[in-house]
């Protein structure tokens, strides 16, 4: 009898459990449908926008800005994926966050483009769900495709301009060089002021005005200054993510801007086994844009540079004596000996400044503590290479060629200082 009663109660409990399960399932289906309907019909209430500059600077950290607006009446869980250009090598960038109703979220992501060219930013993909229900997750694609040009560093150019023309230039490594001799170009006649050089008194103007008048002179202007960039295989070496060619391209844009601001004429010539771009030295308002465009298109190869071709091209193209900032790289004294006759010939007709590079990784290697035989060999090789670089610089300077041996990261400052030194010493 007891067994029968227990069996009856058990079967009745199963019926009740089945009934409750059925109603719970129906409730879950209803809630899921409601959640789905809310996400579907209110999809326009979620907005994501990306802000990126029209032009990005090569080799510099820059920000991409995102704005997420949640106009939904409930809190959401959100995961955002952006389709970055392949050149950035960021294949898994995502951002996860919880966003309260009727709120806006802003965040930034830092990128550092390491090559020039066109960068294609794709669409933004977002996965979101109701923070409280969380039964349905929806994917939505925001159309945000845009092409952005990565150009020679505009950021470095503007920073250098501020450093050179600011009163605190010395804090940034810009040397103040005392002007040697008198300014040599007549500008205008003005009234004498205490402290003026009495040798500048214009006696004819003084007699006419019945007061002391002096001639006002200014520095020599309108000098023709060219940035010459070697695109041969020696410029393919990478430092801090950029090749020596890219470092030189950034420096050429920086110094060209300073040259134009100093009222000289800036130009550009590139070469490898053949001549690349030629931008005639001018001081027009559009000259910096011409130089920037010319630099943007440059690419290096694995061929040996033809210094003889460069010499004959410059002899034909440059009728006036000019200042030449020549960006190249000599790894051994043999490299220099092979091309030294052409450098000497250029230096006779122009003021040549040869700029080449120290391998910063070798500096670190030359200072290591040796623990094995291979460490000894490697340290010896590094020290030998650094000594050879110094010998190359000494050889050039003995031959009367202005020379800059620099670390890639110090290139801009060293080139600017050399230019200011040339102007101050009135070297031509």
pLDDT band at 181 (very low <50, low <70, confident <90, very high): very low
CA–CA separation, 42 vs 140, rounded Å?
12
Identify whether residues 263 and 357 lie together within a single domain.
Answer: yes
- Do the bridges between strand 238-239 and strand 242-243 make them parallel or antiparallel, or are there none, so unpaired? antiparallel
**Mean pLDDT, range 323-328, rounded to an integer:** 96
Identify whether residues 298 and 419 lie together within a single domain.
Answer: yes
Identify whether residues 291 and 253 lie together within a single domain.
Answer: yes
**pLDDT for position 380:** 79
Residue 306 in any domain: the answer is yes
**pLDDT for position 190:** 81
What are the distances in angstroms from CA 111 to CA 11, 53, 95, 210? 67, 12, 15, 67
Q: What is the pLDDT of residues 75-85, one digit of tens each?
A: 888 889 999 99
48 or 176, which is more confident: 48
| Count of other CB atoms within 10 angstroms of residue 257 | 22
Contacts with 422 (C-beta within 8 Å, 6 or more apart), sequence order: 323, 351, 353, 402
The phi and psi torsions of 53 (rounded to 5 degrees) equal -60, 150
CB 408 within 8 A of CB 415: no
- Do the bridges between strand 275-282 and strand 265-271 make them parallel or antiparallel, or are there none, so unpaired? antiparallel
Show which of 218, 234, 269 is a domain's final residue. Answer: 218
Show which of 151, 167, 193 is a domain's final residue. Answer: 151
Identify whether residues 160 and 255 lie together within a single domain.
Answer: yes
Q: What is the pLDDT of residues 95-153, one digit of tens each?
A: 888 888 888 899 899 999 999 999 999 999 988 877 667 667 778 888 989 999 999 99
pLDDT band at 357 (very low <50, low <70, confident <90, very high): very high
* Helix/strand/coil for 148: strand
Residue 225 in any domain: the answer is yes
**pLDDT for position 6:** 44
pLDDT band at 200 (very low <50, low <70, confident <90, very high): confident
Identify whether residues 123 and 162 lie together within a single domain.
Answer: no
Residue 24 in any domain: the answer is no
Q: What is the CATH number of the domain that holds 332?
A: 3.40.50.410
CA–CA separation, 299 vs 411, rounded Å?
20
Show which of 104, 136, 151 is a domain's final residue. Answer: 151
Identify whether residues 81 and 226 lie together within a single domain.
Answer: no
Q: What is the pLDDT of residues 58-78, one digit of tens each?
A: 999 999 999 998 887 878 888
Average pLDDT along the chain: 83
Identify whether residues 237 and 207 lie together within a single domain.
Answer: no
203 or 11, which is more confident: 203
Q: Is the pLDDT of residue 306 over 90?
A: yes
Identify whether residues 206 and 225 lie together within a single domain.
Answer: no
Contacts with 198 (C-beta within 8 Å, 6 or more apart), sequence order: none
State the burial class of residue 138 (Cβ atoms within 10 Å of its Cβ: 0-12, 13-18, 19+).
Answer: middle
Identify whether residues 210 and 235 lie together within a single domain.
Answer: no
- The total number of structural domains in the chain stands at 3
Residue 388 in any domain: the answer is yes
Q: Is the pLDDT of residue 14 over 70?
A: no
Q: Is the pLDDT of residue 299 over 60?
A: yes
Q: What is the pLDDT of residues 381-411, one digit of tens each?
A: 778 888 888 999 999 999 999 999 999 999 9
Q: Is the pLDDT of residue 88 over 80?
A: yes
Identify whether residues 65 and 96 lie together within a single domain.
Answer: yes
Identify whether residues 165 and 210 lie together within a single domain.
Answer: no
DSSP for 62-125, please give it: EEEEEEEEE-SSS-EEEEEEE---GGGT--S-EEEEEE-TTEEEEEEEEE---S-EEEEE--EE
* Residue 87: domain span: 43-151
Q: What is the pLDDT of residues 275-289, one digit of tens each?
A: 999 999 998 889 999
How many residues belong to the chain? 428
Residue 7 in any domain: the answer is no
Q: What is the pTM of this model?
A: 0.79
Residue 374 in any domain: the answer is yes
CB 258 within 8 A of CB 162: no
Residue 35 in any domain: the answer is no
Residue 4 in any domain: the answer is no
CB 333 within 8 A of CB 389: no
**pLDDT for position 4:** 46
**pLDDT for position 355:** 96
Q: What is the CATH number of the domain that holds 111?
A: 2.60.40.10
**pLDDT for position 23:** 65
Token reading at 293: 């465009």
Identify whether residues 72 and 172 lie together within a single domain.
Answer: no
């Amino acid at each position: 009898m007891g067994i029968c009663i227990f069996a009856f109660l058990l079967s009745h409990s199963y019926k009740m459990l089945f009934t409750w399960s059925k109603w719970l399932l129906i409730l879950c289906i209803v809630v899921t449908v409601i959640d789905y309907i809310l996400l579907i019909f209110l999809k326009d209430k979620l907005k994501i926008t990306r802000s990126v500059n029209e032009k990005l600077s090569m080799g510099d950290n820059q920000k991409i800005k995102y704005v997420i607006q949640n106009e939904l009446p409930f809190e959401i869980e959100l995961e955002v994926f952006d389709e970055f250009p392949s050149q950035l090598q960021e294949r898994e960038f995502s951002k996860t966050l919880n966003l309260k109703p009727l709120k806006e979220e802003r965040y930034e992501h830092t990128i550092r483009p390491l090559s020039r060219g066109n960068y294609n930013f794709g669409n933004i993909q977002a996965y979101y769900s109701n923070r409280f229900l969380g039964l349905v997750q929806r994917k939505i694609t925001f159309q945000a495709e845009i092409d952005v040009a990565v150009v020679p560093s505009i950021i470095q150019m503007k920073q250098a301009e501020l450093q050179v023309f600011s009163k605190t230039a010395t804090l940034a490594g810009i040397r103040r060089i005392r002007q040697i001799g008198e300014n040599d170009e007549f500008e205008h006649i003005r009234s004498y002021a205490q402290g003026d050089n009495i040798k500048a008194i214009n006696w004819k103007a003084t007699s006419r005005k019945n007061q002391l008048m002096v001639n006002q002179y200014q520095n020599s202007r309108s000098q023709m200054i060219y940035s010459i960039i070697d695109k041969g295989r020696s410029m393919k070496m990478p430092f801090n993510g950029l090749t020596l060619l890219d470092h030189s391209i950034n420096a050429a844009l920086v110094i060209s801007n300073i040259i134009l601001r100093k009222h000289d004429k800036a130009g550009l010539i590139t070469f490898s086994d053949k001549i690349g771009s030629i931008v005639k030295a001018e001081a027009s308002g559009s000259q910096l844009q011409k130089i920037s465009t010319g630099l943007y298109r440059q690419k290096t190869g694995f061929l040996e540079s033809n210094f003889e071709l460069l010499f004959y091209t410059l002899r034909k193209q440059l009728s006036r004596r000019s200042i030449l900032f020549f960006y190249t790289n000599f790894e051994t004294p043999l490299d220099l000996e092979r091309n030294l006759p052409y450098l000497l010939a250029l230096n006779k007709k122009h003021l040549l400044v040869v700029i080449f590079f120290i391998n910063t990784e070798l500096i670190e290697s030359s200072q290591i503590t040796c623990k094995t035989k291979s460490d000894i060999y490697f340290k010896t090789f590094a020290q030998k290479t650094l000594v050879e670089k110094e010998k190359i610089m000494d050889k050039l300077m003995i031959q009367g060629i202005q020379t800059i041996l620099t670390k890639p990261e110090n290139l801009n400052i060293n080139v600017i200082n050399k230019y200011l030194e040339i102007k101050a010493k009135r070297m031509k």
